[in-house]
Amino acid sequence: MIRSNGARFITVEGVEGVGKTTNIRFITQCLHTAGVSYVLTREPGGTVVAESIRQLLLAKQDENLCELTELLLVFAARAQHIKRVIEPALANGKWVICDRFTDATYAYQGGGRGLSMNTIAQLENLVQGDLRPDVTYILDLPPAIGLKRANQRGELDRFEQEKLEFFDKVRAVYLERAAQEPERCIIIDAQAALATVQYNIGKHLKGLL
């Protein structure tokens, strides 16, 4: 969607350790250089309340989080994030760069946990109305490589402790979604050297400026 005030909603997705944080830093540097006013945010999180929900989602707990509870918490955080951060920023003409959004819900809760894609779509419509990202960069690599990178960073969160099979399903859903929406979803080979990854993101981003 091209907004009349020029604002764009860009999301970055991929399995654990794929390089989202690293490449989001690069995206914001490009925007800064181009003089674009932006808001950098993340999911789950992005507001005080939504960050509290993030802690609930990522922390390892004695009581297992039910799959449906996990899904509803993700969307509860998103509802707060959209109303408090994303919509106001877009309305003010700012670009929004978001580390993960609803594609992650399809990939993790739909693919990984096996919850119904239809249920996720219903919640998406309820919580987001017609808000959808304009562009989504899907950083893609074999999950084993991403997990190795994530492992090197220290203690693993609740999701990072899942088995490789879980992340294979997550990746498969990301790729399916990219195939369904090729205009919005740009697959970036994240196995390449960082300079190549950034060259490819930068080339696409320039087309948006």
Residues that bind ligand T5A (CB under 6 A): 14, 16-22, 43-44, 74, 99-100, 104-105, 108-109, 149-150, 159, 190, 194, 197
Q: Which is closer to ligand T5A, CB of 4 or CB of 152?
A: 152
Nearest distance from residue 143's CB to ligand T5A, in Å? 10
User: Half-sphere exposure of 6 toward its Cβ, with a 13 Å CA cutoff?
Assistant: 7
CB of 93 to ligand T5A, least distance (A): 25
Output the smallest distance, CB 126 to ligand T5A, in A.
15
Nearer to ligand T5A, 7 or 57 (CB): 57
Q: Given the complex with ligand T5A, which of 87 and 149 has the nearer CB atom?
A: 149
Q: Which residues neighbour 139 within 8 Å (Cβ) at sequence distance 6 or greater?
A: 12, 13, 14, 18, 19, 20, 23, 188, 190, 197
68-90 CB burial, b ≥16 within 10 A, e <16: eebbebbbbbbbbbbebbbbebb
DSSP state of 105: I
Structure tokens at 85: 């951060």
Q: How far is the CB of 205 from ligand T5A (least distance, A)?
A: 17
